[in-house]
Amino acid sequence: MRIATWSGPRNLSTAMMYSFAARGDCAVVDEPFYATYLAQTRLDHPMRDAIMAAQPQDPLRVVEGLLGPVPAQKPHFYQKHMAQHMIPGVPRDWVNELTNVFLIRHPARVAASFSAKYDNPTLADIGFVQQVELYDQLVSAGQSPVVIDSADIRRDPETMLQRLCAAIGLNWTPSMLAWPRGGHADDGVWAAHWYGAVHDSTGFAAAEGPPPALDGARAALAEAAMPAYDRLRAVALSP
């Protein structure tokens, strides 16, 4: 099984990649379109040069790898994707061939967390609109993609991961609840900038409190993302 999980930044996505890697039967890949995204947008992200050197910049080469032989001949291939990387010029038709999951998080939490490490983010930077576009594409193609909220996972990881596995037709194993401290061999080169908290973890963080109160540009960003979040939240797995 090839599982594509579509997230935005600061959204529990790395912890989810570690969770699936901990199963033992899943190869994983970390944001394979990141270099493509930077090459085409010319955005100046942290560690840009290292990212560009570490990955193919041709999106067709990336797709070929995602649909080709599964690394290490594992039975399953978990692909951690950032929805905002699916910009014009990056093909999306290949997505229809995978089992697709959408990982969502309340926009206020995303706006607060992402803006702490990236200056002046825009709606296009945080992936909500692209998640809805991909979701609609898959539904039109006859798929029933799964949506899961990171807040529900953090409140009750075991129950929500059991439900996720059942929804995609994958056997559940308790090994998904824990991983070794210190990161994973398949982390992207950008891990040094972004993954500090998850590298210190050995499992999912505790439940979050209320969404943060925002003002100014961060409040406007969260408000702009709310319609897309609400749309996907309405079809998310029940907690």
**pLDDT tens digits for range 117-175:** 777 889 999 999 999 999 999 999 999 999 999 999 999 999 999 999 999 999 999 99
Question: Smallest Cα–Cα separation from 132: which of 83, 62, 85?
Answer: 83
Given a cut of 80, is residue 32 above it in pLDDT?
yes
Cβ contact 104:149 at 8 Å = yes
Cβ contact 115:218 at 8 Å = yes
Cβ contact 128:11 at 8 Å = no
Please, what CATH class does the domain formed by 2-233 belong to? alpha beta
- The mean of the pLDDT values for the chain is 94
> Which residue stretches of the chain are H helix?
13-21, 34-41, 48-54, 59-67, 107-115, 128-140, 150-155, 157-168, 191-194, 196-199, 216-233
| Residue 110 in tokens | 């995303």
pLDDT band at 115 (very low <50, low <70, confident <90, very high): confident
| Residue 158 in tokens | 């075991």
Contacts of 28 (CB under 8 A, 6+ apart): 17, 20, 21, 77, 78, 79, 80, 184, 186
Range 84-105 average pLDDT: 96
How is the chain split into domains, by residue range? 2-233
The structure's pTM equals 0.95
Residues listed for the chain: 239
* Each residue's pLDDT tens digit, 222-234: 999 999 999 999 9
